[in-house]
A and B are shown apart, each in its own frame.
Chain A
Amino acid sequence: MNEAIQARGLTKAYLAGKSGPPLRAVDGIDFAVRPGEVFGFLGPNGAGKTTTIRMLTGLTRPTSGSAKIMGLDLATEVTQIKKRIGVVPEASNLYDELTPLDNLIFSMQLYGVPRAERRPRAEALLERFRLGEKRDVPFAKLSRGMKRGLTVAAALAHRPALVFLDEPTTGLDVMSARSLRQMIAGLRDEGVTIFLTTHYLEEAERLCDRIAVIVRGRIVALDTVDALKARAEQKTIVEVVLGDSKGSLEKKRIESDDVEATIRHALTDAGGRHVLAVNTLRPSLEDVFVRLTGLSAEAMLSEKGGKGGGNAGG
């Protein structure tokens, strides 16, 4: 059976200046996405996530390497590929002047959905995304969450078998983000393959079957969420909470092969402060991510400019 995506040595290099060497935004990545799975693509800002999506969707040509999307060659069959994929970009980009209904119908017109199917399909999508009452309101006047929902709906309008979601919940309030995650889970249940980039690790942990971590253009890990966590579980995390007489607290997390020795060392080497608590923790996906990227989850969120949809509850 064909993989949904098969990338080999995919590279994108940009000229960094007149004399400098080319900047390799994506540097020879290999990976495969299986049909029907939710594939997470994680990495800090500038790691190459969006560039990878742009190459796989035909928006920019790879400098070298190759890719097949549902068995079709990206270099020679890009128009056929575009018929089979849907793309939700990081920013909602429908037409401000058109209503939700007209935006969806225009999407279907571009993709050749038969005339008789367009309106019923658009109405059904509007209901599914709880936008039925806003069907005749210009896109510009919708809330951010509604715009995001409609952008996802437009990507699904021609019933693609593979959907690329680039940071779908960024900037959304908690309820809208939760609703969108439920929608993504629903798509997986329908057998749609999903390629998801996100910087919300809980979101990735909850939704994704497998995850690739990309750092500086290279994939540094690719496995199921459980397998990635199992790698980190070979070490235990000892969390020590220290306090001083002024009431300030400090939390230290130490990876350890020898828990007893680490706790003993923490208790005797508190630097004059009181040890208030010592906990041993199972590593989370965040710990795996921190180890692979050298970047804290908080730092990644602050790079993205806010935690709008960061609470992955629901």
Chain B
Amino acid sequence: MLVDDLRGMFYIALKDLRAYYFKPPNISWGILFPFAFILAFVIRNPGETRELVPGLLGLTILFGTSSMEAIVIVFERRIGSLERLMLAPIRLPALLAGKLLGGMTFGLTVTAVVLVIALAVFGFGGVNWLLLLLALLFSAAAFSALGAFVSVAVREIFEAQTLANFIRFPMMFLGGVFVPVASMPLGLQAVARLLPLTYSVEVLRAALDGRHFVDGMLDLAFLAGFAWVMFGLAVWVMRNKQD
């Protein structure tokens, strides 16, 4: 049964990447959108460019994983093709994990492009590569699970886009991308501490600064917990809708 689940996950992810993700508009949007935001900020504060790189990576992975992820499931449910997957000999969590895997793969791919550009420009000597890899993986899992939850929670594509933006845009401004969380008013800091992007940017910053693995442990734990809760909720909602 586990072999069936793993095979199903792999091929569902592969199919999603071919059918939906790796299309020119998605790739250009996934890379250009975070760059445009960061560029606007850099023009206003030219001296802080290097400081913005963890936020740029966090934004890229947030939008890269969740933009299509939030739509794919609701789209497939609308056209009936989700039913094909539900009829296949795999369990529901494996089906959703396949969807997550597709979103994560795409998000990590576009983030890798942005990372290469950032490293070429800024050099970043002494990066903690293991921590960076874990930070990217855990962030991708958290944001992809968020997208999956949004996608199963709604009925229409426009609802998915609205709900996803309702969550992502405040997160973008409160998650420490442009303004350090420590410099925010206490009330906003409390809100920021509930947002996965805050932990993603923190651990990415720790990795790029070459800090010790322990410095990123709490952030990674939060991201893993967030991913697990969102994934569990998505499975629960989908199972209930099925009945």
Give me the interface of A with B, judged by CB distance under 8 Å: 57-61, 79-80, 82-83, 87, 89, 91, 93-98, 102, 106-107, 109-112, 154
- Is B186 positioned at the interface, with any CB of A under 8 Å from its CB? no
The chain B residues found within 8 Å of chain A, CB to CB, are: 1, 4, 7-8, 11-12, 15, 18-20, 79-81, 83-91, 242-243
Main secondary structure of the interface of A (DSSP, over half): loop
Identify 23 residue pairs between A and B in the complex whose beta-carbon atoms are under 8 Å apart, listed by A's number: A58-B86, A59-B83, A60-B243, A61-B243, A79-B89, A82-B88, A89-B80, A93-B79, A94-B84, A95-B81, A96-B79, A97-B18, A97-B19, A98-B19, A106-B11, A110-B7, A110-B11, A110-B84, A110-B88, A111-B89, A112-B4, A112-B7, A112-B89
- Report the minimal beta-carbon distance from A160 to chain B, rounded to whole angstroms: 11
Asked if B89 and A82 make an inter-chain contact with CB atoms under 8 angstroms apart, the answer reads yes
Do A93 and B19 contact each other (CB < 8 Å), given the known contacts A61-B243, A80-B89? Answer: no
B90 touches A95 (CB 8 A): no
Q: A107 vs B89: C-alpha distance in the bound complex, in angstroms?
A: 11
Contact A109 B11 (CB under 8 A): yes
Q: Which residues of A contact B15 (CB under 8 A)?
A: 95, 98, 106
Residues of A within 8 Å of B91, CB to CB, are: 79
Closest to A61 in B: B243
Point out the residues of chain A lying under 8 angstroms from B19, CB to CB.
95, 97-98
Once A and B bind, how many residue pairs between them come within 8 Å at the CB atom? Answer: 63
Q: Known: A97-B19, A110-B85. Is A59-B242 also a contact (CB below 8 A)?
A: yes
Distance, CA A236 to CA B231, complexed state (A) = 63
- Tell me the nearest residue of chain B to A96, going by C-beta: B79
Closest to B98 in A: A110
Are A82 and B7 within 8 A (Cβ)?
A: no
- B4–A79 CB distance below 8 A: yes
Contacts of A79 in B (CB 8 A): 1, 4, 89-91
- A85: nearest residue on chain B (CB-CB)? B87
Give chain B nearest CB distance to A263 CB in angstroms: 52
Tell me how far the C-beta of B153 lies from the nearest C-beta in chain A, rounded to whole angstroms: 19
Asked if A94 and B81 sit within 8 Å, CB to CB, the answer is yes
Q: How far is the CA of A112 from the CA of B3 in the complex (A)?
A: 9
B78 to chain A, nearest CB (A): 10
Min CB–CB distance A147 → chain B (angstroms):
12
Nearest 4 pairs between A and B by C-beta?
A93-B80, A82-B89, A97-B19, A110-B88
Chain B residues with Cβ below 8 Å from A94 are: 81, 84
How far apart sit A61 and B92, CA to CA, in the bound complex (Å)? 13
- The reply to whether B84 and A93 contact each other, CB–CB distance below 8 Å, is yes
| A60-B242, A61-B243, A83-B89 known; A93+B11 contact, CB < 8 A | no
Pair B20/A91 contact, Cβ less than 8 Å: no
Sample of 10 more A-B contacts, CB < 8 Å, known A59-B83, A106-B15: A57-B87, A58-B87, A59-B87, A60-B242, A83-B89, A93-B79, A94-B84, A98-B15, A107-B84, A110-B90
Bound Cα distance A83, B4 (Å): 10
For B85, list chain A residues within 8 Å (CB). Answer: 110
Residues of chain A with a CB closer than 8 A to B90's CB: 79, 110
Given contacts A79-B4, A109-B7, contact A98 B87 (CB under 8 A): no
Question: B8 — nearest CB in chain A belongs to which residue?
Answer: A110
Query: Across the interface, which residues of B come within 8 angstroms of A59, CB to CB?
Result: 83, 86-87, 242
- Min CB–CB distance A252 → chain B (angstroms): 43
**Which residues of A have CB within 8 Å of B89?**
79-80, 82-83, 110-112
B86's nearest neighbour on chain A, judged by CB, is A59
| B88: chain A residues within 8 A (beta carbon) | 82, 110-111
Check if A91 sits within 8 Å of B242, measured CB to CB.
no
C-alpha spacing A111/B90, complex, angstroms = 9
Q: How far is the CB of B53 from chain A (nearest CB, A)?
A: 35
Report how far A93 CA is from B87 CA in the complex, Å: 12
Contacts of A83 in B (CB 8 A): 89
Q: Report A-chain residues with C-beta under 8 Å of the C-beta of B84.
A: 93-94, 107, 110, 154
- Contact across chains for B20 and A93 when beta carbons are under 8 A apart: no
A82 to B242, CA, bound (A): 16
Nearest chain-A residue to B15 (Cβ)? A106
| Residue numbers in B under 8 Å from A102 (CB-CB) | 18
